[in-house]
Amino acid sequence: MNNLNQYLDVNPEVAQALAEGKPVVALESTIISHGMPYPQNVETALKVEEIIRSNGAVPATIAILGGRLKAGLTKDEIEYLGKQGQAVTKASRRDLAVLVAKGADGATTVTTTMMIAHMAGIQVFATGGIGGVHRGAETTMDISADLEELAHTPVMVVCAGAKSILDLGLTLEYLETHGVPVIGYGTKELPAFYTRKSGFGVDYQLEERDGVLWINAKGSLYMDAAAAPTLFTGSGASYTTIQADGYARWYQVGDAAGKTMTVQVPENSGFWVYDGNGQVTASSVLWGDTTVTLPEDGTIVFAGDPGARFHLRFQG
């Protein structure tokens, strides 16, 4: 695929966003050429780009035009694709080199959108439904190239699951075999494109609570440590309470670094202190600690039964 880099054109707006570390979202173009009639296809494509912009990211609709791999289209290029419609080749991985050699046009599928996005340095791609294992594939071997690309190309695909006409159970088995995690955002089930329900569970769940994203991995909840609130030490005394959901409470040490913290630990509860490298430096559970010096860039977690209240005192 490195040999194709010489045929890559990154839209100037997309290139600038990538250089400045701004979020960029790749979009496929088969939906434009093959998904809807003109002019609804163009209107939809531009509306999707508008939605991405309104959420603070830069859209990069991807296609092959005149044998060039385009990461980010202009309005005129989207209009061109929409008018050409199904006269444009629906391009999967097998078609890419041929279209480039012929100087031809191609509308990208999930597979080729991922390929070109990765070449351009784009890490996130949003689409409708991915391809998968077709019903009867045990005899026909009809398996979408999308699944192979998901296994080999490091681009996160945000989608509405796999298309409902597919064998969703075998699709999930194939993804598992190839080491592709399936993460549900706000759902425990794999969506089936037109429906939220498929009867098949996802590997992990991503949930948003109070503006913080959590991931449910096999019954355990994880969050980004940077999203944890800063430990309050203003009055020299404080407390934290385990809520009714029973989830542990995480805090960043922040300005309390270097202070001594004394904890009154309730029954059936405990706390752990981590340094900036993620190493445990103190714990009431592991070593019976109740008084600790808080480390620079550290984090603290309190765990216990719902309603358990930890009383904290600070010195220094």
DSSP tag of 242: -
Check if 259 is active-site: no
226 token code pair: 């940077």
Given 49, 70, 149, 163, which residue is catalytic?
Answer: 163
Specify the residue for token string 């480390």: 295
Q: Taking the CA of residue 249 as centre, how many other CA atoms within 13 Å lie in the half-sphere pointing to its CB?
A: 21
Decide if 304 contacts 270 (C-beta within 8 A).
yes
The helix/strand/coil state of 7 is: helix
The total number of residues written for the chain in this structure:
316
CB 229 within 8 A of CB 223: no
- Catalytic residue, chosen from 28, 49, 79, 149, is 28
| 8 Å CB contact between 249 and 221 | no
Enter the DSSP assignment of 40: H
Distance between CA atoms of residues 15 and 211, nearest Å: 30
Give catalytic status of residue 218 as yes or no: no
Q: What phi, psi does 64 have (nearest 5°)?
A: -115, 120
The answer to whether residues 100 and 112 touch, using CB atoms and an 8 Å cutoff, is no
What is d(CA 240, CA 249) in angstroms, rounded to the nearest whole number? 8
Query: Which residues are the active-site residues?
Result: 28, 163
